[in-house]
Structure 1
Amino acid sequence: MQRPITLGEFIVENQKDFQYAKGELTALLSSIKLAGKMVNEKINKAGLAAILGKMDSQNVQGETQARLDIIANDIFISTLKNRGEICALASEELEEYVAFDEEIHRNAKYVILIDPLDGSSNIDVDITVGTIFSIYRRVSKIGEPPVKEDFLQPGIKQVAAGYLIYGTSTILVYTTGNGVNGFTFDPGVGSFFLSHPQIRFPEKGRIYSVNEGNYIHFPEGVKKFIKWTQEFDENDDRPFTSRYTGSLVADIHRNMLMGGIYLYPQGTTAPNGKLRLLYECNPIAFITEQAGGKCSDGNQRIMEIVPRELHERAPFICGNSYLVEKAEKFMEPC
């Protein structure tokens, strides 16, 4: 039986597909997988190491931080900094971006945006969580200090994006614009192995993922779409099944493999939507489009939105192209 290919081998073999292939992507993804292993270990031991629960502190969005939020954030920053392939990093947990001033970083061509622990409110009840990352080429002059504009780029400028999902197994999924591939971590060997080659959304899906506790606050078009998914139609394979975990990575990963749609629209409790454009929407949109799906804010393509600030929020609809287009149709002005 042929040995499965490792993540490192896969990156090297496919580096020609990366438009800026000079070894930087290999080093960056190597740092991400290393940090992911460390976070995975912390999560698996969380109940024994007294690192569950909340902190007294809040992040920039005013959300109470979990202990593992801070631990994961520190792990990713220190690991990514050590390789010298990025000049700066922005995290959902930090108000401002972090610029690296050491000589090794001055000529770095990339910046990374990261959500270190997506769905961390689920940690204490042992539900799947994840990490989301997004990589851009800097727009500032190489050799000079990075600037905020290096991060305020539309999603179409991403050169790579991905996520780690910490569940029954730990899986790293990423794209560089040439399809989506997933790699499962084997803790016995300590390596990620290709387990989900060329992931594609099924043509049809029967899952809708939305926090229906916010239903009363949703725009009328979203309410109509949800009602549509619940109606019986044997030709359209309805009604759908509702599945929502509160962990973006978990819901997107399931829907991408099984077929479905995820919605986090705007409402009176989140007038601009809740998800962060740079840390969540754009990287997930890049992956989704590369897997044959579609992402929208209900009106326009997510990856074409020009961000104005680091922690900007956006409404988010993501999934099978047919279902996203159907939702957009319901949301059109009368």
Structure 2
Amino acid sequence: MPSRYMTLDDFLARALDGEHDEAGAYRLRSVIGEIALAVRAIAAMIERVMLDGSAGAGADIQAAAHELMMALCERSACVAGYSAAQSNGARAATVTAATAATARNGYLLTFEALDGAAQIAENGLAGSIFSVREAACGSMANEMDKDARETAWRRGGDALRAAAHALYGPSTLLVLTLGRGTHGFTLDRASDTFVLTHHAMRVPDEGLEVSIDGAREHAWEPPVLRYVRECRAGSVGVRERDFSLRHGGCAVADLHRILMRGGVSIVPRESRDLQDASGLDLVHAAQPLAWLVEQAGGAASTGRERVLDLRPGALDARTGVMLGTTREVARIERYYGEYERGVDRPFDSPLFNERSLFRPEACA
């Protein structure tokens, strides 16, 4: 097993050896190095925010992190194009071809610069999400027309070459996959380097953690409602186990807890008129996080299909996601299948109502 004190640079040198031609390995290593540099800078911003005492610290640092990432992409010779979730939470995404002429054979970088920014003023957890994608046709040169660039971004999860999330908390952690396992690197502030501290992370086969925003229960689809109600019933319900339900307000932090402890993180696609604003951003968040989970032995689904099999119709497309322990994700998928086949419709009787033994919850 690699040394606990292996640096990120050393890890990348070994992991990419023989996997790409020399120039390709250099470009990918450079892009990931730029991501690590940005994470260190964002962590430093967060540490300073409490000293400033700004009431609008969350919004200010979110905008600053967004600008920092865009500047990084603009100056990188290995980023051929980038797309960012808007820092103000709007659904639109920014898509730009890199200005560096040498980036013709570079990679496409997507990012959500700061997730959970509203919690920073309260000394809460925040995170960032990144993905590195292969450019279609091997190029994102400036002379490509707009349609060609849009097509390059709308490829599915098979275009991913690296995915990462950063977690800003008591320590700064960068969790990375290159498609051969998921690994965690902790920032050593003394040397200002990331060192390997979580080699080959694995989502536990059993887990009692459920992360979901309970305030949105009124808008959940019936399969999600069924699953969560079963978990709430705990040891006296059909699951016969007590679950821990919590929601931290930061998708990265919620998912990281599932990576470490097992269970499932749910960001549901909501019903009725709320679907356009619900779920996770597919390109900038859902697919990178899904790849990290799958490479750690977990599963990532919409309830109806695998997240990485989706091809976005637009860069601002959103989707519901269930990320975590394979067994729990499979259970939710089963509930979706039963709901769509009409076999789990609740027993409706004025005589028995919710106390009926014939309700699905009692028969599971």
Q: TM-score, normalised by structure 2?
A: 0.83
- Whether the aligned pair in 1 keeps the contact of 2:108 and 2:132 (CA below 8 Å) is yes
Q: Does 1:159 align with 2:161?
A: yes
Alignment partners' CA distance in 1, 2:111 and 2:45: 18
Paired residue for 1:76? 69
Deviates more, 1:9-18 or 1:137-146: 137-146
- Whether the aligned pair in 1 keeps the contact of 2:209 and 2:243 (CA below 8 Å) is yes
- Whether the aligned pair in 2 keeps the contact of 1:51 and 1:68 (CA below 8 Å) is no
- Flag the 1:74–1:331 CA change in 2: closer, same or farther, 3 A: same
Question: How do residues 165-244 of structure 1 correspond to structure 2 at under 5 angstroms?
Answer: 165-233=167-235, 238-244=241-247
Alignment partners' CA distance in 1, 2:135 and 2:62: 26
Paired residue for 1:30? 33
Paired residue for 2:15? 14
Alignment partners' CA distance in 2, 1:116 and 1:17: 31
Paired residue for 2:356? none
Question: 1:120-142: per-residue Cα shift (whole Å, max 9, x none)?
Answer: 12222221111100111111453
Paired residue for 1:127? 124
Alignment partners' CA distance in 2, 1:189 and 1:244: 34
Deviation at 1:96, TM superposition (A): 2.9
1:330 paired residue among 305, 329, 335: 335
- Whether the aligned pair in 1 keeps the contact of 2:231 and 2:239 (CA below 8 Å) is no
Deviation at 1:202, TM superposition (A): 0.4
Deviation at 1:50, TM superposition (A): 5.1
Deviation at 1:18, TM superposition (A): 4.2
The amino acid across from 2:71 in the alignment is S
Deviation at 1:143, TM superposition (A): 6.8
Q: Does 1:137 align with 2:134?
A: yes
- Flag the 1:176–1:153 CA change in 2: closer, same or farther, 3 A: same
Q: Does 1:245 align with 2:242?
A: no
Q: TM-score, normalised by structure 1?
A: 0.91
Q: Does 1:270 align with 2:270?
A: no
Paired residue for 2:89? none
Deviation at 1:150, TM superposition (A): 1.9
Paired residue for 1:97? 95
2:107 paired residue among 107, 110, 119: 110
- Flag the 1:143–1:287 CA change in 2: closer, same or farther, 3 A: closer
- Whether the aligned pair in 1 keeps the contact of 2:39 and 2:166 (CA below 8 Å) is yes
Deviation at 1:274, TM superposition (A): 2.8
Paired residue for 2:361? none
Structure whose residues are more often helix by fraction: 2
Query: Aligned Cα RMSD in Å?
Result: 2.1
The amino acid across from 2:5 in the alignment is P
Structure 2 SS opposite 1:245:
coil
Deviates more, 1:308-317 or 1:94-103: 94-103
Q: Identity of counterpart residues, as a percentage?
A: 24
Deviates more, 1:323-332 or 1:283-292: 323-332
2:321 paired residue among 306, 316, 325: 316
Alignment partners' CA distance in 1, 2:234 and 2:121: 37
Deviation at 1:33, TM superposition (A): 0.6
Deviation at 1:230, TM superposition (A): 2.2
Deviates more, 1:254-263 or 1:42-51: 42-51
Q: Does 1:305 align with 2:306?
A: no
Question: 1:152-198: per-residue Cα shift (whole Å, max 9, x none)?
Answer: 11123211101111011100001010000000001111111101000
- Whether the aligned pair in 1 keeps the contact of 2:109 and 2:132 (CA below 8 Å) is yes
- Whether the aligned pair in 2 keeps the contact of 1:230 and 1:240 (CA below 8 Å) is yes
- Flag the 1:271–1:188 CA change in 2: closer, same or farther, 3 A: same
Alignment partners' CA distance in 1, 2:55 and 2:192: 25
The amino acid across from 1:313 in the alignment is R
Alignment partners' CA distance in 2, 1:236 and 1:228: 6
Structure 2 SS opposite 1:283:
helix
The amino acid across from 1:300 in the alignment is E
Structure 2 SS opposite 1:132:
strand
| Larger Rg belongs to | 2
The amino acid across from 2:65 in the alignment is A
Question: 1:181-220: per-residue Cα shift (whole Å, max 9, x none)?
Answer: 0000011111111010000000100000000111111111
Structure 2 SS opposite 1:307:
coil
Alignment partners' CA distance in 1, 2:280 and 2:185: 26
Deviation at 1:51, TM superposition (A): 5.3
- Flag the 1:80–1:143 CA change in 2: closer, same or farther, 3 A: closer
- Whether the aligned pair in 1 keeps the contact of 2:126 and 2:250 (CA below 8 Å) is yes
- Whether the aligned pair in 1 keeps the contact of 2:74 and 2:99 (CA below 8 Å) is no
- Flag the 1:17–1:229 CA change in 2: closer, same or farther, 3 A: farther
Unaligned runs of 5+ in 2: 87-91, 343-364
Q: Does 1:259 align with 2:252?
A: no
